[in-house]
Amino acid sequence: MKTHHTNTSFIVTKDISNANGFLLPHILYDKIKTVATYPIKEFYLQNIPVVGDFKFKMYKNAVVNDKLTIQAQLVKQNKDLYWVNILVTKSKSASNHQERISSALFHFPLEKTNQNTHRTAC
């Protein structure tokens, strides 16, 4: 299977944070849910279906002016599902390392194609 992945970044602003400056979890979830569709777009002829199942974990808070990177990768495909893994990181200011903010795993159902062949005798 060919590797399908994407990286997207965004900066935490006051508009998407609470009064204390922390990124609102539902905003982060909405962003990663959208990014999770990027590696699998080419497999669907129509709109991508609703997420079948997901796991979402927050490890640390992000604050205003943090630059976050969302990494999405198609990690598995079977006869019924695509599995997309998400990792959200931010750069540590003192070093060249990335700090994990959250992770998620999304399951998307495969698109069912109805290709019926009708044969008639002449």
Instruction: Identify the three-state secondary structure at position 96.
Output: coil
Residue 117 lies in a domain: no
What predicted TM-score, i.e. pTM, was given to this entire model?
0.80
> How far is 105 from 79, CA to CA, in rounded Å?
18
CATH number at 103 reads 3.10.129.10
Phi and psi at 27, nearest 5°, equal -70, -45
Phi/psi zone of residue 119: left (φ > 0), alpha (ψ -120 to 50 degrees), beta? beta
Closest CA to 27 of 10, 41, 44: 10
Domain count, the chain: 1
- Does pLDDT of 96 surpass 80? no
Domain range spanning residue 88?
4-109
Residue 114 lies in a domain: no
Residue 61 resides in a domain: yes
pLDDT mean across residues, the chain: 85
Instruction: Evaluate whether residue 82 is within a structural domain.
Output: yes
pLDDT digits (tens, 9 = 90+) for 40-66: 888 777 777 778 888 999 999 999 999
pLDDT of residue 103: 95
pLDDT band at 38 (very low <50, low <70, confident <90, very high): confident
